[in-house]
Chains A and B, each alone.
Chain A
Amino acid sequence: MLKFFHRMASPKYFYQFTGKLIPWLGIACLGFMLAGLYDGLLVAPTDYQQGDSYRIMFVHVPAAWMSLFIYMVMATAGAIGLIWHIKLAEVMAISSAHVGASFTFLALVTGSIWGKPMWGAWWVWDARLTSELILLFLYLGVIALYNAVEDKRTAARATSILALVGVVNIPIIHYSVEWWNTLHQGPTVTKFDAPSIDLKMLIPLLLMAVAFKLFYAVVVLMRARCEILQRERNSGWVKELVRASS
């Protein structure tokens, strides 16, 4: 197992292995996504208070979960890159940033569309919404900083530190609805007692969560392969690859 990880840290092996892995992940993602959407939009019952409007949750909640999850992946990869100077960890960190920013944006937009009919406002400055907006700015900051520095290894080090400083925001987002009075409701699924959601609604939600995780895996690996080719453009195996394909 350790040997596997050790081999995966080599960009060349990583490139070859993920090339074979991505199609399978893509098929699995499509399967979960279709099942989740069908179950969520057609099978799941309407809500006792919100009617059909609550169905936007099947996009909003997984997107919000992913925005936190990807940030933790990015910061962890950044820390590994800083400590062990593993190139692949740096590549994974920066490749995650774009996907994370997209999911954060999606969570904010779907939340806004949900908020207007239910709460009566597109946006309020409560702790949950504000901290999620800060998360979006952190992602954008990481991306901007990475692109501002010419040398990519220096850039990766700088962005990793920024990402690690921002980690403090993650528990704030999660617990904001418990620590302070907010307009956003409290946690439904990720609390210690039983989730306060009907099982028929929970299943499509979890299906969509798995689909979003797989989607992230596909996109981050594709981005990482791209980044590796760019960084290793002067190494023998990339030149070999280019010669073989042209």
Chain B
Amino acid sequence: MNPVRKKRLILIGLMVAGVAIAVGFALNAFNQNLMFFYAPSEVIAGDAPPDHPFRLGGLVTTGSVQRQPDGLTTRFDVTDNVKTVTVQYTGILPDLFREGQGIVAHGKLNENGVFIADEVLAKHDENYMPPEVAASLKDAHDAATAPAAGKSSKP
């Protein structure tokens, strides 16, 4: 490679590296703002803004979904398997909303520590399989965990 071309190659390499480093620092600085939602343990720890609306994300705890008598309001617990926050939402839930499913809710904490959501989005996972495979996986999982779980009753 002749010296002129080599110089151009090095210059381009330096430019790309420089931009990458600059963007890397910027993204690192804004790391918190780039998070789409807070996990329940972050909310319990007080990382979430207390007076501003924010998003809460996690799994809907199995057996926690309660429909209120007015027919539109739902209460359920959202967990990250460490801490749990109770969410109350009035409105129509997305089709994918179900127990054990990941969701992202937008709203505010009230004074009792209940998250009053004005929007609930369902987060689907990266697994794709036919229903019969899912069923057989679930059976295998239940069979494997049943002896380990001992006599604990199922919810």
Contact = CB atoms under 8 A, between A and B. Distances in A.
Contact of A126 (B36, B126, B133): B36
Interface string A113-127: 000011111001111
Given A50-B96, A120-B93, A161-B15, 7 more contacts: A83-B9, A118-B124, A120-B121, A165-B15, A167-B16, A187-B126, A196-B128
B130 A47 contact: yes
Interface string A163-194: 01101100010000001111101111000000
A181 B36 contact: yes
B19 A165 contact: yes
Interface residues of A, number: 41
A197 interface: yes
B52 interface: no
A31 interface: no
A183 B128 contact: no
A198 interface: yes
Interface in B43-98: 57, 93-96
B104 interface: yes
A4 interface: no
B60 to A, nearest CB: 13
* B contact patch SS: mixed
B92 to A, nearest CB: 9
Contact of B121 (A54, A82, A167, A183): A183
Contacts of B27: 172
B146 interface: no
B81 to A, nearest CB: 15
B89 to A, nearest CB: 11
Count chain B CB atoms within 10 A of each CB in A54, A82, A180, A196 and give the residue with the most.
A180
Contact of B16 (A83, A164, A181): A164
A65 B121 CA distance: 25
B8 A186 contact: no
A168 B25 CA distance: 12
A183 B37 CA distance: 8
Contacts of B130: 45-48, 198, 200
A79 B14 CA distance: 13
A196 B8 contact: no
B20 interface: yes
B151 interface: no
A218 interface: no
B19 A83 contact: no
Contacts of A126: 36
Interface in A91-129: 117-121, 124-127
A118 B94 contact: yes
A124 B34 CA distance: 12
In order of increasing CB-CB distance, the 9 nearest A-B pairs are A120-B94, A48-B134, A45-B130, A126-B36, A188-B126, A197-B128, A198-B129, A185-B126, A48-B131
A161 B130 CA distance: 46
B128 A54 contact: yes
